[in-house]
Structure 1
Amino acid sequence: MDAVARDRFIRGDGTAADAWRGSAALAGVADAGAADLAPPGARLVVVAPHPDDEILACGGLLQLLADRPSLLVAVTDGEASHPGSLEWPVERLRAMRPGETEAALACLGVAPSVLRLGIPDGGVTAREAELADRLAQLLAPSDVVLTTWRYDGHPDHEATARACLAAARACGARTLEAPVWGWHWSAPDDGAMPLAHARRLALPEAVLARKRAAMACFASQVLPDVSRGAAPIVPPQALERVLTPFELFFHDPARPF
């Protein structure tokens, strides 16, 4: 079943991590090394819809390419993650979440250049064309642009991916897309993920440990909201699905490996 034809809702607990671990289709995805994903001489440009997406999507790859030039484009500041919260009002989130990213990157031991665009959280779709134009001004043909999956289930993730794809295709850069919430709404072996155009990057134990530690820096996302009695925005079961000994990336079928 194609992702385009599916309802992509992020609700409930989603697909269990154990189910993904038992997926024959996922186990059959070809492996790739960091240098295969971003060849020598290529700059890695990570375009994150929200603070923490850069860690969830490619915190391992960032570590493995720590000696390379890299750029993190923060599309939004993630200020809309807790609507109606007294503990996490918009002003606090806007001030705090960029600092969470800085702490997480330090945890990984990486220091990419960071560009913050300040597009409103939840408003990327409305400014998708603008985002594509801004990215086009930043990119070079030798870049590898890494972002969230174009069918990830979150409107900001999907709009960011479409903008990245448009900008990269315009200049000849390569793209890689990583599922973040796609692990939640899709199910093993249902055909929703384009595994025929995927590669798996194995993460050494120490790399995965630093990725886990980096995610702990996002207190706003991984702790409950006491003021509303609400679960974390990124609950333990979501972290378990994503913090695995590998990262999964989809390449543009028009630019195969």
Structure 2
Amino acid sequence: MSGEPTKPRGREPVSAKDDRSGGLPQADASTADDIAAFVAKARAMSPHAPGAKGRLIFALDATMSRQPTWDMACALQADMFREAAALGSLDIRLVYYRGFNECRATGWISDSVRLATLMSKIDCRGGDTQIGKVLSEARREAVASGVRAVVFVGDAMEEKVDELCAKAGELGMLKVPVFLFQEGYDAVAEQAFREIARLTGGAWCRFDPGAAAQLRDLLRAAAAYAAGGREALLKLSKTTSGAALLIGQMK
């Protein structure tokens, strides 16, 4: 991915990797040999080995309806770093989509202030969901540099669910759980999110619109898993409801 985002009105664009069309490229169809090769490579990298630095993909729907939650997530993302700091360390790669065929990713970020600054420069724009591109990006990064978990925050799904499930299945083979945090009560989105969570060994949770405390607990729990694995999440589940919800669903 290369190139710079088009400068939006009002806010400055964040530097991100993308293709010439302004979006993350779609993954090609995978053969059985392709899948076996990338699973072997990812396992060799041992992203879950003791002492390894946690890496988390933080994916957000930045279409127009998401502006209130985007602003809230800007404030709450620091809690992910604080939780991870108590367990070791954490790098986060922000991925977001908005507008027409625009899906972008930052580099790996290890500082909460820098992540908040980048997020504050992004404005939300109307458009369809692009969850498939998020899953493809997670797959590439899982093979290239190791990813412990994916967090997705959104409220809708407007894509072919079978195609999303195929991508989710590949992440499941790589042992990269996807934690999907749904705002609102869209039934189509819930069905798809639950299935993606099941296929990846992750979890689906709903939070109420504008419920900062609920989202904070869920983000803290995902960060705990990314930084310290299942054991850290299990320990956190004894004191926070968000972690208990995640650990209760994970395989």
Q: Under TM normalisation by the shorter chain, which class is it?
A: 0.3 to 0.5
Report which of the two has the higher share of helix.
2
TM-score using structure 1 length: 0.36
TM-score using structure 2 length: 0.37
Whose RCO is larger (CA < 8 A, sep 6+)?
A: 1
